[in-house]
Amino acid sequence: MNAALLRELVADVGASHVLTGADCARYETDERQLFHGRAMAVLRPGNVAEVSAVVTRCAAHGVGVVPQGGNTGYCGGATVDASGRQVVVSLERLNRVLAVDPVGHTLTVEAGVVLADAQAAAAAAGRLLPLAMGSQGSCQIGGNLATNAGGLAVLKYGTARDLTLGLQAVLPDGRVLERLTALRKDNTGYDLKQLFIGAEGTLGIITAAVLKLFPGGARHCAWAIVPKAADAVAVLARLRAATDDGVSSFEYMAGEALALVAEALPALRQPLAGAHHVLVEVLGEQGSERLAAILESLVADGLVTDAVVAQNEAQRQAFWRVRESIPAAEKALGGSVKHDISVPLNDIARYAEDATRAILAGWPGARLSLYGHVGDGNLHCNVLAPAATDPAAFRRDAGGAISDALHALAHRYAGSFSAEHGVGQLKRGLLARYGDPVAVALMRQVKAALDPRDLMNPGKLLPAVEAPQP
């Protein structure tokens, strides 16, 4: 405990926004309960000047700063270490929508705005913020940008990076980078905002951003059964061509993943039964009749065996609820060994087959939960304990080897071990193993240039530096 620093921080943000002791508990553990730390304090600044002030104070005292948004991240990136010498800077009070411009199609928000609130602000102005994901009721725009979040509409609109026009960030020395621009064209040197997107808080704290909006409009949703996983990719290609590239979401769910939902949440009605499911959403005025006609042609060609089109908004949301319940079902059944891989789209079905074979050969009886944003080549290939095995013991004893097998397989397919969840604390070793050494060295150089004393989210993202051999 650094009493002098705490007194200064209280002067900066007020006593009620400097939490210590038991009040820090909910900020000290990650969403998946994989990481537990102990904070010197949790700071809750209320504006960019206060963020700058607390970062400047911490830098003067050589104290590490861990930025935290909604704390929904899957890799422990927002969790302090156990030393009691780091502080959490929570962005939750920077929660103002600063501007909605329906003509320029932009939304300007502070970093602590919850994603669902940002979507609602856009919708109230008749515009669409397409960033969407299962955690949108809690995750924040700053966290979304810091992890370059993907989600449900990447196929059409790209990741958080593609949706960002400008941002404001507090650097590790407390200076404020003012790039809160709504310009779509600005070729004046390095695009510095990109440094902070996907940096997981290791280069600075994002305090506000300007995001792209799109015209709102009708969304049409269908649930379909395909004969085999490979047909999902062919169906996607046909749908894109037939809808003037109007497909905004294309999700795959294996029957086993939905069996977990049926077991954990029996009251949730599932639209169709089958071994391979897809959930598709198409934008535009073409209407659900048009979507139904396209699906009929896919049935005629043997690429789809059954399909149902949502007839109204309530049904559309009901379809999505089933898809988004998969993580909750896994959690209710004791938790899973989670993966977030991506491979080139053409290889995704072969990856799924190889992964299934490898897991069932190595861990007979293990339950697989294969699903994901397959339109982006992104599969969540999660593994649950066999029925009679204690889930926690299974994760502890088998988790490492299972992950090694699935990540090695993704690497063989020229894929990524982290499609959208980032690196955090959990996957630093994988970056060391699979990252291009030159790329990792460049990342270290960027980090050293911006944060030479390693005070901004230390111990995250970059692989640990090995001690020199004696």
Residues that bind ligand FAD (CB under 6 A): 31, 66-74, 77-78, 91, 111, 133-135, 139-140, 142-144, 146-147, 149-151, 200-201, 205-206, 327, 420-421, 424, 457, 460
Residue 239 CB, nearest distance to ligand FAD (Å)?
20
- CA dist., res. 238 & res. 187, Å (int): 37
Residue 442 CB, nearest distance to ligand FAD (Å)?
20
Give 167 or 303: the residue with its C-beta nearer to ligand FAD. Answer: 167
Residue 271 CB, nearest distance to ligand FAD (Å)?
20
Answer for the pair 217, 460: CB distance below 8 angstroms, yes or no: no
* Strand order, beta sheet including 205-212: 97-101, 106-110, 205-212, 164-170, 176-179
Residue 9 CB, nearest distance to ligand FAD (Å)?
18
Give 171 or 368: the residue with its C-beta nearer to ligand FAD. Answer: 171
Give 274 or 424: the residue with its C-beta nearer to ligand FAD. Answer: 424
CA-based torsion, 426, 428, 431, 434: positive or negative: negative
Give 231 or 420: the residue with its C-beta nearer to ligand FAD. Answer: 420
Residue 81 CB, nearest distance to ligand FAD (Å)?
13
Give 31 or 50: the residue with its C-beta nearer to ligand FAD. Answer: 31
Residue 470 CB, nearest distance to ligand FAD (Å)?
34
Residue 138 CB, nearest distance to ligand FAD (Å)?
6
Give 416 or 457: the residue with its C-beta nearer to ligand FAD. Answer: 457
Residue 215 CB, nearest distance to ligand FAD (Å)?
23
Among 168, 157, 163, which Cα is nearest to 192's? 168
- Which residues are 29's β-sheet partners? 36
Give 6 or 113: the residue with its C-beta nearer to ligand FAD. Answer: 113
Give 67 or 130: the residue with its C-beta nearer to ligand FAD. Answer: 67
